A and B are shown apart, each in its own frame.
Chain A
Amino acid sequence: MSDMQDFRASTRAWLEENCPQEMRQPMGEADVCWGGRNWVFQSDAQQLWLERMAVRGWTVPTWPEAYGGGGLTGDEDRVLREEMQRIHARPPLQSFGIWMLGPALLQFGSEEQKRHYLPQIARGEIRWCQGYSEPGAGSDLAGVQTKGVDRGDYFEVSGQKIWTSYADQADWIFCLVRTEPDAPKHKGISFLLFDMASEGVSTKPIKLISGASPFCETFFDAVKVPKEQIVGERGKGWSIAKYLLTHEREMIGSTDSALFKSESVVDAAREAVGLDATGRLADPLLRARIADFLVDEIAFKAELDRAKAWARAGNQIGVESATLKYTGTELNKRRQEINMESGGFDAVEWDFANAQSDEKASLWLRSKGNSIEGGTSEVMLSILSKAVLELG
Chain B
Amino acid sequence: MQIFTEEQTMVRDMAAGFLEEKAPVSALRRLRDEGAVLGYDKGLMGEMAGMGWFGMLIGEEAGGVDMGAVAAGLVAEEMGRRLTASPFLSSGVLAATALRDAGALDWAAKVASGAAVVAFAADEHGKHEAGPITTRAEASGNGFVLNGAKRFVSDAVGADRVIVPAMTEEGLALFLVDPAQDGVTTRAFATVDSRNAADLAFEDVQLDGAARIASGEGAEAAMASALRTGRAVAAADLCGVAKEASERTLAYLKERKQFGITIASFQALQHRAADLYTQIQTTEAVIAAALAAIDAGDAEAERLSRVAKAKANKTASLAVREAVQMHGGIGMTDALDIGLFMKKARVSIEYLGDSACHAEWLLREAGL
Question: Chain A: residues with CB nearer than 8 A to chain B?
Answer: 266, 269-270, 275, 279-281, 287-288, 290-292, 294-296, 298-300, 302-303, 305-307, 309-310, 313, 315, 317, 320, 323, 326-327, 378, 380-382, 384-386, 388-392
Closest partner residue, chain A, to B359 (CB atom): A291
Closest Cβ of chain A to B21, distance in Å, is 28
Q: Name the residue in B1, B267, B270, B363 with the highest tally of chain A Cβ atoms < 10 Å from its Cβ.
A: B1
Q: Are A270 and B367 in contact (CB under 8 A)?
A: yes
Q: Which residues does chain A contribute within 8 Å of B362, judged by CB atoms?
A: 291, 294-295, 298
Binary interface profile of B, 239-268, with partner A (CB < 8 Å = 1, else 0)?
Answer: 000000000001001100000000011010
Q: Are A303 and B281 in contact (CB under 8 A)?
A: yes
Q: Which residues does chain B contribute within 8 Å of A287, judged by CB atoms?
A: 363, 368
Bound-state CA distance A269–B355 (Å) is 21
Q: Which residues does chain B contribute within 8 Å of A380, judged by CB atoms?
A: 274
Bound-state CA distance A313–B281 (Å) is 19
Q: Are A280 and B368 in contact (CB under 8 A)?
A: yes
Closest 9 A-B residue pairs measured CB to CB? A291-B359, A385-B270, A303-B285, A299-B286, A302-B286, A302-B289, A384-B274, A381-B274, A391-B264
A-B contact pairs, 12 of them (CB 8 A): A275-B367, A280-B363, A294-B363, A295-B311, A295-B362, A302-B288, A384-B277, A385-B270, A388-B277, A389-B277, A391-B250, A391-B253
Closest partner residue, chain A, to B264 (CB atom): A391
CB of B273 within 8 Å of the partner chain = yes
CB of B142 within 8 Å of the partner chain = no
Q: Which residues does chain B contribute within 8 Å of A295, judged by CB atoms?
A: 307, 310-311, 314, 355, 358-359, 362
Closest Cβ of chain B to A8, distance in Å, is 22
Closest partner residue, chain A, to B363 (CB atom): A291
Q: Are B274 and A385 in contact (CB under 8 A)?
A: yes
Q: Which residues does chain B contribute within 8 Å of A299, judged by CB atoms?
A: 282-283, 285-286, 307-308, 311
Q: Name the residue in B264, B281, B367 with the highest tally of chain A Cβ atoms < 10 Å from its Cβ.
A: B281
Q: Are B288 and A323 in contact (CB under 8 A)?
A: no
Bound-state CA distance A326–B280 (Å) is 13
Q: Which residues does chain B contribute within 8 Å of A385, judged by CB atoms?
A: 270-271, 273-274
Q: Which residues does chain A contribute within 8 Å of B270, judged by CB atoms?
A: 381-382, 385-386, 389, 391
Q: Which residues does chain B contribute within 8 Å of A315, judged by CB atoms?
A: 1
Closest Cβ of chain A to B360, distance in Å, is 7
CB of B304 within 8 Å of the partner chain = yes
Q: Contacting A323 at CB < 8 Å: which of B250, B281, B304, B355?
A: B281
Q: Are B286 and A266 in contact (CB under 8 A)?
A: no
Q: Are A303 and B269 in contact (CB under 8 A)?
A: no
Q: Are A266 and B281 in contact (CB under 8 A)?
A: no
Bound-state CA distance A313–B4 (Å) is 12
| Apart from A292-B359, A298-B286, A298-B307: 11 A-B pairs, beta carbons within 8 A | A270-B368, A287-B363, A295-B307, A295-B362, A299-B286, A302-B307, A303-B285, A327-B281, A381-B275, A384-B274, A388-B274
Q: Contacting A389 at CB < 8 Å: which of B2, B274, B303, B367?
A: B274
Q: Are B363 and A290 in contact (CB under 8 A)?
A: yes
Bound-state CA distance A315–B1 (Å) is 9
Q: Which residues does chain A contribute within 8 Å of B355, judged by CB atoms?
A: 292, 295
Closest Cβ of chain A to B128, distance in Å, is 16
CB of B9 within 8 Å of the partner chain = no
Closest Cβ of chain A to B146, distance in Å, is 32
Q: Are A378 and B265 in contact (CB under 8 A)?
A: no
Known: A295-B355, A296-B311, A391-B265. A305 touches B363 (CB 8 A): no
CB of B366 within 8 Å of the partner chain = yes
Q: Are A327 and B282 in contact (CB under 8 A)?
A: yes
